[in-house]
Amino acid sequence: MSQLPDSTSDLSRRSLLRGTAAAGLLATPAVGLLSACAGSSTGDDKADTGAKTNDNPLGVADTGKVDVVVFNGGLGDAYAKFDVTVFNKKHANVTVNLSSTLKIKTEQQPKFSTTPADLINNAGADIMALDTLVNEGALTELTPLLDAPSWDDPNVKVRDTLLPGTINDGTFDGKVLVLNYAYTVFGVWYNQALFDKNGWTAPTTFDEFFTLAPKIKSAGVAPFAFAGKFPYYMRWAIMSWIWQSGGKSAVVDIDNLKPGCWKTPEVMAALEATEKLVKDGYTLPGSATLTHTESQQAFLDGKAALLPCGTWLENEMRQTIPSGFQMKLANFWGVSAADKAKGAVFAGSGENWIVPKKAANAAAGMEFLRAMFSVEGAGKFAELTSSLSSRAGSGDKVTNSTALVSAGEVMKKASGELVSFKHPDWYADIDKAEQNAIGELMAGRMTAAKFADTLQAATDKVAGDSAIKKFTRDA
């Protein structure tokens, strides 16, 4: 895929993956939980170091070990296992202790006051809150890695191999503290074979959806499924609809805690359309209690025609995709004819990778990341996961995935800047309130008006609390 317009995103992504905060269950971390980390020396001060060369720009010692923890979720851990072989091509005598888990916060956060792992994939439902890690000074600044020669070409810096937005996504007050490895395209998935069989066309606007939905329902299929147990999955759709309806400024105002930001006509149009989707009975019964994999399996089983998710979907469900299923991605549809950012696409980097400041071997942790961003490592990631890496060109050789090819088509049609939002990573209190409200909205227990009231109150509370560090983004 060619390079994309400059952008920032959550991915949390996934953010979130991309990269996103825990599904409405993430309690605000106790004050001072990581306070022992603040002001400590960088981890590589405690480790033996080697001579710095073009092949070893971070000065990794000739021997020793590096502890790497990968989140074994939708993208699996096979790519990280492959990266061990890439790393050891240049550091044959350094032992890589690679472990994978779903319980990142549970297993790793308690170690931050002593000796955490050297490199951590901070992702999934049990994610560590980034605002806490940043505010407590618990993370190593990654500029030395970005300014280092790339793994494959000493004349090209690591930063110059990354897709647009990747560096900005991990920047806090001018410091790069996070690098996101996956580059995700988000949208609404459908089965082309099912749509062809019934003569359906994937909707591009809410009006088209509301016209198509009764036809889908009459065929015995629910028009729309979602992961109700993890509300941040629907946040990707809702924030994309807000961006399309109100333009970039609508989302920037939300991120910047602007008074009244949740109650503008454009934001309300997106919220009211979402409410109508639920109230008109177009969601799969029981979706409000489904996990992400349960909703995805319902989609694969033909119980639902449309499903919001990111491009990790194929890899996460690879073992249960039926024969003949033609998985394709469509952009989140527009809200109305008055949309200010028609065709805007939500895509960007996710899957947080961090190097703790108290890591015993921070230099080797950064070096492992450098290996991951190699041509070989990033290409294998795309091959194994049917997802893009944040390194430019990672998916160029993958042609056997209708999912990844369709994601590329979505990107080719992208107009303007890519959809991005920051507030879930910046403010844990807003994130928690937002995910809870999304859960209520999608369960039919909250109106769009009440949703706006709830989020505006949460936003105003954070804005008025001088003890909470504030972040801003450009308009």
The residue from 296, 315, 346 where one domain ends is 346
* Cβ contact 17:333 at 8 Å: no
d(CA 211, CA 203): 9
CATH of the domain at 44: 3.40.190.10
Instruction: Label residue 474 by pLDDT band (50, 70, 90).
Output: confident
For the chain, how big is the Rg over CA atoms in Å? 22
pLDDT at residue 2 is higher than 70: no
Residue 85 and residue 225 in one domain: no
Task: Point out which residues pair with 96 in neighbouring strands.
Answer: 66
115, part of any domain:
yes
Residues 225 and 265 reside in one and the same domain: yes
Structural domains in the chain (count)? 2
C-alpha–C-alpha distance, residues 322 and 76, integer Å: 20
Interatomic CA distance for residues 25 and 64, integer angstroms:
38
Q: Identify the domain boundary among 327, 346, 365.
A: 346
Residues 287 and 391 in one domain: no
Strand 94-101, strand 171-172: pairing: unpaired
- Of the pLDDT bands very low, low, confident and very high (cuts 50, 70, 90), residue 5 is very low
DSSP 359-403: -TTHHHHHHHHHHHTSHHHHHHHHHHHSSEESBTTTTTT--S-HH
| Residues 51 and 113 grouped into a single domain | yes
Q: Are β-strands 347-354 and 171-172 bridged in parallel, bridged antiparallel, or unpaired? A: unpaired
- Residue of 413 and 339 predicted with greater confidence: 339
- Distance, in Å, from the CA atom of 417 to the CA atom of 423, rounded to the nearest integer, reads 18
Per residue in 189-230, pLDDT (tens digit) is 999 999 999 999 999 999 999 999 999 999 999 999 999 999
Q: Which two tokens stand for residue 423?
A: 């507030």
| pLDDT for 180 | 95
d(CA 387, CA 78): 13
Same domain, 285 and 371: no
Domain boundary among 326, 346, 366: 346
For residue 63, is it within any domain? Answer: yes
> Within this chain, do residues 206 and 120 fall inside the same structural domain, yes or no?
no
Residues of the domain holding 319: 185-346
Q: Note the pLDDT tens digit of each residue in 273-327.
A: 999 999 999 999 999 999 999 999 999 999 999 999 999 899 889 999 999 999 9
Model confidence at 6: pLDDT above 90: no
Residues 217 and 151 in one domain: no
Q: Is the pTM of this model over 0.75?
A: no
Mean pLDDT of the chain: 89
pLDDT of residue 387 exceeding 80, the answer is yes
Residue, of 279 and 474, whose pLDDT is higher: 279
Domain annotation covers residue 452: no
Asked if residue 80 lies in contact with residue 100, where contact means CB atoms within 8 angstroms, the answer is: yes
Closest CA to 326 of 216, 225, 406: 406
For 54, counting Cβ atoms within 10 Å of its Cβ (0-12 exposed, 13-18 middle, 19+ buried), the class is exposed
Query: What one-character DSSP code corresponds to residue 73?
Result: S
Same-domain pairing of 205 and 324: yes
Q: Would you list the DSSP string of 235-273? A: HHHHHHHHHHHH-HHHHHHHHTT-TTTTSSHHHHHHHHH
Query: Same structural domain for residues 189 and 57?
Result: no
Q: What are 24-77's pLDDT values in tens digits?
A: 222 233 333 343 343 333 444 455 678 899 889 999 999 999 999 999 988 899
Structural tokens at position 31 = 């004050």
- Eight-state DSSP code of residue 64: E
Query: What value does the mean pLDDT take over residues 253-271?
Result: 98
Give the pLDDT score at 10: 37
pLDDT at 448 over 90: yes
